[in-house]
Structure 1
Amino acid sequence: MRHVFVAGAAVAPFGKHLGRGAADLGEQAVIDLLRSVNLPPGQVGAGFVGSVYGGSLVGQRVLQRAGISGPPVFTVENACASGASAVHLAWQAVASGAHDCAVAVGTENLSGFGGGALPLTTADAEIAQGVVMPATYAMRAQRYLYETGARVEDLCLVSVKNRRNGAKNPRAHFQAPVTLEQVLQSRPVADPLRLLHCCPNSDGAAAVLLCSPEFARELRTPLVRVRASVVRSGRFHTGFRDMTWPDITERTVRAAYEMSGLSPADLDLVELHDAFSIAELLHAEALGIAERGKAHRALADGEFDVDGRVAVSPSGGLLSRGHPVGATGVSQIGEAYWQLTGSAGDLQVPGATVALTHVTGGGIFGVDNGACSVHILTAED
């Protein structure tokens, strides 16, 4: 397997883009990406486009509009991990030698659904009984608070930190900080979660270029090495389910650490799947950057701040940056790329050389999540 590098990234800013479909947003991200690396569309070897609600052949529609026509193109649907799964497949294509460069894209327009929880398939025993993601995460939060002694205020601190970070991110859906009191007083959604404990449904797109060492030498752009790219699916069982332990995250990141030869202690920053504030605490523990049951203490002590032990969601995370589901995983790679090349501007984590991105999702009967992807990236001299 060859080394694989990220050679560029672009984002169509997240927010509400009424009247612009997934293909329109994806086109913008891909065109901006190709311009940023000065790469003619005809030199792209393959394209992988992640989207949940973009419709049939959205990959071809996105790439053809950007001038990429003829090479193999794949549309990837893997719930919230769709974009990250597209990156994983692009990494496989380059690492295996099948292609010297590949474009990975994530795109989504959720404005058409209006407000509230996203629609889930009813061809599922739990969803048919009324399960929605806010309720599932509320159950996880209740159990975590009960078992660890954490308080609702600890959940609020996640939102405060990430909205503070996102206030500096021009690509974020929400670009204003919030106070602890504002989070506590926001509208109830599913006890104990309130509105500001939840990420917004956003529109947006992101694109990254992955390439081989030989191809990378021809480009005049900063490079970041992909040290690990892993995707796992949930294990099916119908017995007891520990609501405070995302098994799929732990299994995926364990494989990523093994592949990269790195450990949690090596990480400078983490972009994780904070779709709800409780998710940051649960996933931080499963990723190994906090002891089990103690992530809320690490958060309160400032260990997850931009200048802390490990910066968690310095981009603002899903809570601030937004969550156009198919685009999220690719945008995380982009944020990590800018951090590791020292071009993150006001978001910059001082001296960042190792980053981890994590996304998981998909409510499905019998598993904790349908799919999870973890990438570990390192700066190159």
Structure 2
Amino acid sequence: MRDVYVIGVGMNRFGKYLTATVKGMAAEVVQLVLRDAGIDGQLLQAAYVSNTFWGMFSNQHSIRGQVALRPLGIQGIPIVNTENACAGASTAFHLAYLGIAAGAYDAVLALGVEKISHENKALSLQSYASCIDVEKSSEQINTLMQLNELYSPQVARDEPGRGRSIFMDIYAAVARWHMAKYGSTQKQLAVIASKNHFHGSLNPLAQIQRDMTVEDVLADPPVSYPLTRAMCSPVGDGAAAAILCSGDFLKKLTGARPVKTLASVLGSGRDRLIDGEDIGERLSKQAYQIAGLGPQDIDLAELHDATAFGELHQLEAMGFCQPGEGGIFSESGATRLGGKLPVNTSGGLESRGHPIGASGLAQVHEVIAQLRGEAGQRQVTGARIGMTENGGGNIGYEEAAMTIHIFESIS
């Protein structure tokens, strides 16, 4: 396997853009990533394009990448469409990585683009339900309700997915289980969200750029206990991209600012008990082994925080703290800028935003900026090793898909 480098990243500011188009956002970000890499688009030998909902909203199915890239003069090369729920963009990155590592290509584009906001808000929220097994959605909801009855009978029931994404109920149910088993608290979730909103206030590309105190987060409107609105990622649109290359290609460039990819892992969920080994635990062990590192070697991480509980859980799953101690670890200040392990310096999904098919590459954008020393006010001092973890969809008690990438600064 050959070494793989990231030589370019680009993204637009995530937000609610009712008049934006998938083609338009793709064009904007492809121009940005080519400029950042310092190469012409004609040098690209393949492209992997992530999108989830274009077909649902605009009836563009099947050949989304070809449709988005052809007007930009990127044609004739292999273009592969990836769809893996929230992990779609990071899956595109993984496939680009494999193509280069295997020797098939020397320069590859990974692009994620998503348009979710809609005048009909209910349509936007309903789209998320396609990221679970739709034929067994009632069974999934019943599983959540049973979890609620078993561990938190004091929490009043309401209809899952009413006025919100069904995933907020999934996260809330598992959060209540975690609270009952380990004693984690709603305030700890607020600490995580407050930290991410602080980080987001420093990020000019974040959808939400408002610093919030712990008290502000707790006082925000409730979504599904213990989650408040400020603990949850917003609906939004956006695009992000990366250009990957081989060592041979890199030698031909002048002025490049490469970052090395040490590990790229993709896996799927499996049937397990609520107490069974989590997909994040399994895949992080694989990624660490490939990179020849351990959790203690990571300088910063972008973790999939569709809710604040998502970050708490992934802190434990990635091995950054012991099971049950994600809330305590966060309260210690370790995950804040200046702490032992800054997490979601971009603001995370809660603040940076979460356009499903683009989020994984937005994580890559942040880590590459950090490892280049180009993150501005949110720069992690001395950052050398960075990680991204991106989960997608849900079946049973865990994500349907997940990727983990580990990067190293070589400057």
Regarding TM over 0.5, the answer is yes
Question: What's the offset of the Cα at 1:246?
Answer: 6.9
Contact 1:246 1:283 in 2 (8 A): no
Letter paired with 1:176: R
Q: Which of 165, 180, 186 is residue 152 of structure 1 equivalent to?
A: 186
Contact 1:87 1:104 in 2 (8 A): yes
Structure 2: runs of 5+ lacking an equivalent = 56-60, 142-159, 161-165
Question: What's the offset of the Cα at 1:209?
Answer: 0.4
Letter paired with 2:135: D
Distance 1:290 1:54 in 2: 39
Contact 2:200 2:347 in 1 (8 A): yes
Distance 2:271 2:326 in 1: 27
Once the two structures are superposed, the pairs formed by residues 76-95 of structure 1 within 5 Å of their partners are 76-95=82-101
> Does 2:312 correspond to 1:305?
no
Letter paired with 1:145: M
SS of equivalent residue, structure 2 residue 210: coil
Distance 2:280 2:97 in 1: 20
SS of equivalent residue, structure 1 residue 205: strand
Distance 1:31 1:138 in 2: 39
Question: What's the offset of the Cα at 1:62?
Answer: 2.1
Higher alpha-carbon deviation: 44-53 or 143-152: 143-152
> Does 2:394 correspond to 1:360?
no
Letter paired with 1:13: R
> Does 2:409 correspond to 1:379?
yes
> Does 2:110 correspond to 1:104?
yes
> Does 2:60 correspond to 1:60?
no
SS of equivalent residue, structure 2 residue 12: strand
Q: Is the alpha carbon distance of 1:258 and 1:118 closer, same or farther for their aligned partners in structure 2, counting shifts above 3 Å?
A: farther
1:121-144 CA distance string (max 9 Å, x none): 373313576552111111111111
> Does 2:234 correspond to 1:227?
no
SS of equivalent residue, structure 2 residue 169: helix
Question: What's the offset of the Cα at 1:26?
Answer: 1.6
Q: Which of 246, 262, 279 is residue 310 of structure 2 equivalent to?
A: 279
Letter paired with 1:241: I
Contact 1:47 1:63 in 2 (8 A): no
Letter paired with 2:71: R
Query: Which residue is equivalent to 2:154?
Result: none
Contact 2:221 2:229 in 1 (8 A): yes
Distance 2:2 2:229 in 1: 45
May I ask how many residue pairs the two structures share in their alignment?
A: 376
Higher alpha-carbon deviation: 142-151 or 4-13: 142-151
Distance 1:232 1:367 in 2: 15
Q: Is the alpha carbon distance of 1:367 and 1:184 closer, same or farther for their aligned partners in structure 2, counting shifts above 3 Å?
A: closer
Distance 1:289 1:263 in 2: 9
TM-score by length of 1: 0.95
Question: What's the offset of the Cα at 1:236?
Answer: 2.9
Contact 1:246 1:368 in 2 (8 A): no
Higher alpha-carbon deviation: 19-28 or 121-130: 121-130
Query: Which residue is equivalent to 1:186?
Result: 220
Q: Which of 231, 240, 246 is residue 206 of structure 1 equivalent to?
A: 240
Distance 2:364 2:20 in 1: 23
**Structure 1 stretches of 4+ moved >6 Å:** none
Once the two structures are superposed, the pairs formed by residues 307-326 of structure 1 within 5 Å of their partners are 307-326=338-357
Once the two structures are superposed, the pairs formed by residues 110-125 of structure 1 within 5 Å of their partners are 110-112=116-118, 114=121, 117-119=125-127, 120-121=129-130, 123-125=134-136
Distance 2:89 2:233 in 1: 17
Contact 1:46 1:103 in 2 (8 A): yes
SS of equivalent residue, structure 1 residue 312: coil
1:266-315 CA distance string (max 9 Å, x none): 00000000000111111100001111111111111111111111111011
Letter paired with 1:368: E
Contact 1:357 1:375 in 2 (8 A): yes
Q: Is the alpha carbon distance of 1:260 and 1:330 closer, same or farther for their aligned partners in structure 2, counting shifts above 3 Å?
A: same
Question: What's the offset of the Cα at 1:65?
Answer: 2.6
Letter paired with 2:310: A
Question: What's the offset of the Cα at 1:352?
Answer: 0.2
Higher helix share: 2
1:63-90 CA distance string (max 9 Å, x none): 2232211100011000110000000000
Contact 1:12 1:26 in 2 (8 A): no
TM-score by length of 2: 0.88
Q: Which of 63, 73, 80 is residue 79 of structure 2 equivalent to?
A: 73
Distance 1:313 1:329 in 2: 12
Q: In percent, how many aligned pairs have the same letter?
A: 36
Contact 2:88 2:392 in 1 (8 A): no
1:135-192 CA distance string (max 9 Å, x none): 1111111111112222211110111000000001011000111122221111111111
> Does 2:46 correspond to 1:46?
yes
Q: Which of 349, 366, 376 is residue 380 of structure 2 equivalent to?
A: 349
Structure 1: runs of 5+ lacking an equivalent = none
Distance 1:31 1:346 in 2: 25
Q: Is the alpha carbon distance of 1:337 and 1:191 closer, same or farther for their aligned partners in structure 2, counting shifts above 3 Å?
A: same
Contact 2:87 2:403 in 1 (8 A): yes
Q: Is the alpha carbon distance of 1:356 and 1:118 closer, same or farther for their aligned partners in structure 2, counting shifts above 3 Å?
A: farther
